């Protein structure tokens, strides 16, 4: 494996890990990064699937205590655990239905740099507007999220089917619209990401099984580690940052990177 391929692989893995749980669109960044770096990963869809799995496992590791407690509580039929698990399931369902029915259209039509660049800018403006007019939160922790609010957040997550919108951004900002505290909105987005991303990964494996290839195992493993480590580092810092400073910096970043991408695409 040559040095150029190594640093490109690590960079793509880091981009996935850093952006998956921030309101900036990991899919959009991966599409733009691969386009700009002329990165050609291993044959099939294995590389993209594995680095996404690395980011998922990082969140599972960081929130292992909550996941373990909830799992035991569900088995013991404890009301708080059942209630929390139900909110995640309810929030997950809209994206699951839309993802299955529109999978082919999304992958073949919407996955291109132009869509990503425009969606980044539009999403950045939306974040600024929501932050400006968001009402005082009525829900302070993830355990306080009710089923109705969870379902509405799940509907918002469907917007993330458009690359560049951001799964984290749509769920967090949706939660903010429905008066969820910033930190609670971010953490609910993290928990919702687990079934959503695992479901998407399993579905991608199913749809692409015939073309999957585990060639270039070292490249795949390197991308996985880079995504896991970078996601593990960013998640806790993100919650602390937005609790103090809000989401405006991410909005302006989206607008800047989207405008830069558009400029580069026009010049090309």
d(CA 207, CA 103): 10
Task: Please determine, for residue 45, whether its predicted confidence score (pLDDT) is greater than 70.
Answer: no
DSSP 180: B
Per-residue pLDDT reduced to its tens digit, 103-153: 677 767 677 888 889 999 999 999 999 999 988 999 999 999 999 999 999
Task: Please determine, for residue 21, whether its predicted confidence score (pLDDT) is greater than 80.
Answer: yes
Instruction: Name the region of 162 (left: φ>0; alpha: ψ -120 to 50; beta: rest).
Output: beta
Task: Please determine, for residue 213, whether its predicted confidence score (pLDDT) is greater than 80.
Answer: no
Domain chopping of the chain, boundaries: 3-267
What pTM, to 2 d.p., does this model score?
A: 0.86
Instruction: Report the pLDDT averaged over residues 30-46.
Output: 73
Under 8 Å CB-to-CB from 29, ≥6 apart: which residues? 15, 16, 19, 257
C-alpha distances in Å from residue 59, one per residue of 81, 134, 187, 236: 19, 27, 10, 10
């Amino acid at each position: 494996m040559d040095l150029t391929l190594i640093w490109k692989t690590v960079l793509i893995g880091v981009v996935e890990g850093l952006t998956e749980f921030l309101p900036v669109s990991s899919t959009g960044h991966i599409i733009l990064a691969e386009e700009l770096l002329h990165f050609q990963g291993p044959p099939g869809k294995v590389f993209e699937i594995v680095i996404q799995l690395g980011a998922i496992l990082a969140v599972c590791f960081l929130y292992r205590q909550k996941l373990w407690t909830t799992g035991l509580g569900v088995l013991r039929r404890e009301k708080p655990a059942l209630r929390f698990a139900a909110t995640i399931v309810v929030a997950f369902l809209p994206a699951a239905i839309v993802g299955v029915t529109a999978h082919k259209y999304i992958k073949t039509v919407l996955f291109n740099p132009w869509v990503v660049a425009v969606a980044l800018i539009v999403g950045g403006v939306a974040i600024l507007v929501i932050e400006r007019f968001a009402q005082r939160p009525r829900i302070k922790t993830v355990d306080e999220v009710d089923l109705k609010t969870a379902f509405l957040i799940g509907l918002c997550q469907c917007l993330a089917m458009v690359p560049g919108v951001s799964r984290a951004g749509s769920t967090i900002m949706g939660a903010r619209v429905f008066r969820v505290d910033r930190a609670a909105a971010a953490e609910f987005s993290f928990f919702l990401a687990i079934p959503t991303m695992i479901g998407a990964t399993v579905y991608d494996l199913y749809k692409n099984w015939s073309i999957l290839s585990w060639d270039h195992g070292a490249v795949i493993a390197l991308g996985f580690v880079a995504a896991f480590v970078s996601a593990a580092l960013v998640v806790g810092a993100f919650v602390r940052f937005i609790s103090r400073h809000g989401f405006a910096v991410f909005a302006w970043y989206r607008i800047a990177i989207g405008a830069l991408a558009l400029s580069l695409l026009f010049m090309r």
